[in-house]
Amino acid sequence: MVKIVGIVGSLRTDSYSALALQQAADRVEALGAEVDILDLKEMKLPFCDGGNEYPDYPDVDVLRDKVKAADGLILATPEYHGSVSGVLKNALDLMSFEHLSGKVTGAISVLGGQPNSNALNDLRIIVRWVHGFVIPEQIAVGQAWQAFDSEGKLKDAKLAERFDAFAQSLVDYTVKLKK
């Protein structure tokens, strides 16, 4: 079975990034994969200081262990000032090649304005730097405040189809690279 870890890169209550990640996770699970979502607002993580040991922060080991055991990742981030959120970047910085190398990764960005690929491009660079593989499909949810209904479901059918293709690609590439 394919194991995927999703990471919510937002600290906001009622986060649109969390809603977008859940949309992807539901689709990935429907394809037979196991998904474990890590919500960074629920974890106590320090600012990365470049070291390996964080004895006062057991959630660092939780993060590292879960990511290391996974076959693939879904990274969902709000776009802040044209890039990934600081909390997601910090979580990625707390890990190393040992945890991230070889991971098949899907990237999702959520924006208040028009969709673009700035944060997505930055995630591609980060994942590539640690020898991970980012799938070609990516999701940018623009005007997130109106993209979801009251139950957290996507309103736009074409965007929902993109999530379907995203999930299929993530599972397919993860299976291929896991062999």
Which domains, and CATH codes, for the chain? 3-178 (3.40.50.360)
- pTM of the model as a whole: 0.97
Average pLDDT, integer, range 138-146: 95
Q: Work out the pLDDT band at 116, boundaries 50, 70, 90.
A: confident
Determine if residue 32 is left, alpha or beta; phi over 0 gives left, psi from -120 to 50 gives alpha, anything else beta. Answer: left
The token pair that represents 86 in the structure block? 């600081």
d(CA 48, CA 88): 11
Residue 114 to residue 34: CA distance in whole angstroms: 32
Residue 179 has pLDDT above 80, yes or no: no
Which residue type occupies 160? A
Kindly tell me if the per-residue pLDDT of 152 is higher than 80: yes
pLDDT tens, position by position, 3-17: 999 999 999 999 999
Q: CA angle 142-171-25, nearest 5°?
A: 50
